């Protein structure tokens, strides 16, 4: 019998599609979840054949047609805000119910504004199981995504989710699932960062958040950095999440993203390390963001990368893997 130590594995997996792109600067990430669903992933069948519950839920699809039909302007933030806020509230509720039902949530985006809903929902679900508990978060991304409306040059909300989760930003976003911050600065780690603005850098520094630039990962190695990140996000927390923006990877491997950034992570280094945390007793949820099918290579390399990342956690072999990252 497979060992599934975390409470949230008890009733299997819930894969949640989060179709939205209005939080970013380009349309296309909203198509990512549907592309995966249409591929009829073999790993879902493998899990079901073994009697492990694996369900697919498509969260509300954002109604953003009118937004993309209008020309972009200085008021983009105010135009996109109600769409993103409504979507985040719905996603948060879906994720919260998943966690309360003792299922393990895997959210597939969608632009990275989905993180507002994902981790607000996980935080609420964990607090339902264990009141006043803290949630840790590892954020693997080429960008800091920590702007507020006052610091963001683009005013795109996909560049703001971490600030929101830390309790800073528009109340329609920060108050989803309650007015309290969803993440504490001391339990947040950013990894792979190599493109950012002064405003968000200063904000994270003022909060005391641990940021591992890509240069540090190249020097120390992904394994050593990830081991440190696990120590940070599990310190006095009831659980931790892992959010992966596919633009964290080098565009050679992941061209199908809206904001590619050179000199990124390589799957050959990241995937073996992630395999070591499968079944971690505090792993509370996963999120993958910014897959944009129209921008992918003819060979579908970004799509393949995403499926390989998912397969780390959602295959029978993966579920039975030994947890040794902290050893």
Each residue's pLDDT tens digit, 48-104: 676 666 777 776 666 777 777 776 666 677 788 999 999 999 999 999 999 998 888
Residue with structure tokens 């309650």? 178
Residue 3 lies in a domain: no
**pLDDT, tens digit (0-9, with 9 covering 90-100), for 233-244:** 999 999 999 999
Helices 222-233, 267-274: inter-axial angle, 10-degree rounding: 40
Residue 198 is predicted with a pLDDT of 96
**Domain presence at residue 187:** yes
Separation CA 267–CA 271 (nearest Å): 6
pTM to 2 decimal places: 0.91
Q: Does residue 129 register a pLDDT over 80? A: yes
Given 90, 158, 168, 280, the catalytic residue: 158
Catalytic residue among 30, 76, 253, 290: 290
Catalytic residue among 90, 143, 147, 168: 143
The domain that holds 141 is classified in CATH as: 3.40.800.10
Per the residue annotation, which of 141, 200, 253, 296 is the catalytic one? 141
- Give the model's pLDDT for residue 70: 72
pLDDT of the residue at 4 = 39
Q: Where are the alpha helices (DSSP H) in the chain?
A: 32-38, 42-49, 65-69, 76-100, 114-129, 161-165, 171-174, 198-207, 214-220, 222-233, 267-274, 301-313, 316-319
- Specify whether the backbone of 9 is left (phi greater than 0), alpha (psi in -120 to 50) or beta: alpha
The reply to whether 181 falls in a domain is yes
Average confidence (pLDDT) over 278-294:
93
Under DSSP, is residue 14 helix (H, G, I), strand (E, B) or coil? Answer: strand
Q: Is 245 a catalytic residue?
A: yes
Q: Which residue has the higher pLDDT, 15 or 70?
A: 15
Residue-wise pLDDT for 138-160, tens only, equals: 999 999 999 999 999 999 999 99
pLDDT tens-digit profile of 254-283? 999 999 999 999 999 999 999 989 888 899
Q: What integer pLDDT is reported at residue 149 of this predicted model? A: 93
Which of 145, 253, 287, 296 is flagged as catalytic? 145
Is-catalytic flag, 168? no
pLDDT, tens only, 29-61 = 999 998 887 775 565 666 667 666 677 777 666
Calculate mean pLDDT across residues 12-32: 91
Provide the domain count of the chain: 1
Q: How far apart are CA 33 and CA 54, in angstroms?
A: 16
pLDDT band at 318 (very low <50, low <70, confident <90, very high): very low
Residue 154 falls inside a structural domain? yes
* Residue 51, domain member (yes or no): yes
The pLDDT assigned to 68 comes to: 74
State the Cα–Cα distance between residues 311 and 305, nearest whole angstrom: 10
- Contact by Cβ (8 Å): 111, 290: yes
Q: Is the pLDDT of residue 171 over 50?
A: yes
Q: Is 250 an annotated catalytic residue? A: no
Whether 58 sits among the annotated catalytic residues: the reply is no
Q: Is 167 in contact with 115 (CB distance < 8 Å)?
A: no
| Residue 175 bears catalytic tag | no
Q: Residue 54 forms beta bridges with which residues? A: 13
In a domain, 1, yes or no: no
pLDDT tens-digit profile of 176-234?
999 999 999 999 999 999 999 999 999 999 999 999 999 999 999 999 999 999 999 99
Active site residue 147: no
Which one from 112, 147, 168, 280 is the annotated catalytic residue? 112
Query: Domain range spanning residue 169?
Result: 9-319
Residue 158 appears among annotated catalytic residues: yes
Is residue 76 annotated as part of the catalytic site, yes or no?
no
Q: Which of 221, 229, 326, 230 is nearest to 269 (CA)?
A: 221
- Active-site entry in 30, 64, 111, 245: 245
* CB hemisphere CA count around 314 (13 angstroms): 28
């Amino acid at each position: 019998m497979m060992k599934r130590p975390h409470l949230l594995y008890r009733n299997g997996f819930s894969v949640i599609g989060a179709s939205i792109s209005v939080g970013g600067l380009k349309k296309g990430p909203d198509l990512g979840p549907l592309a995966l669903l249409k591929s009829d992933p073999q790993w879902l069948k493998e899990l079901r054949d073994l009697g492990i519950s694996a369900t697919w839920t498509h969260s509300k699809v954002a109604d953003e047609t009118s937004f993309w039909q209008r020309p972009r302007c200085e008021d983009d933030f105010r135009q996109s805000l109600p769409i993103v806020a409504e979507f985040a509230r719905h996603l948060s509720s879906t994720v919260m119910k998943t966690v309360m039902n003792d299922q393990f949530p895997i959210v597939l985006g969608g632009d990275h504004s989905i993180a507002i809903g994902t981790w607000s929902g996980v935080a609420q679900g964990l607090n339902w199981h264990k009141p006043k508990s803290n949630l840790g978060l590892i954020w693997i991304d080429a960008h800091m995504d920590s702007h507020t409306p006052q610091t963001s040059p683009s005013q795109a909300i996909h560049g703001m989710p971490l600030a929101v989760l830390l309790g800073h930003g528009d109340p329609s976003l920060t108050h989803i699932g309650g007015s309290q911050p969803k993440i504490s600065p001391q339990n947040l780690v950013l990894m792979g960062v190599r493109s950012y603005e002064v405003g968000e850098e200063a904000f994270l520094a003022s909060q005391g958040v641990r940021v591992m630039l890509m240069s540090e990962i190249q020097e120390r190695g992904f394994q050593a950095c990830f081991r440190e990140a696990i120590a940070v996000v599990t310190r006095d927390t009831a659980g931790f999440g892992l959010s992966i923006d596919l633009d964290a990877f080098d565009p050679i491997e992941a061209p199908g993203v809206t904001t590619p950034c050179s000199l990124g992570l390589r799957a050959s280094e990241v995937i073996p390390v992630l395999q070591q945390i499968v079944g971690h007793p505090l792993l509370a949820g996963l999120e993958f963001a910014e897959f944009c099918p129209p921008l992918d290579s003819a060979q579908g390399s970004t799509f393949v990368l995403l499926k390989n990342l998912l397969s780390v956690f959602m295959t029978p072999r993966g579920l039975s893997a030994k947890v040794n990252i902290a050893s």
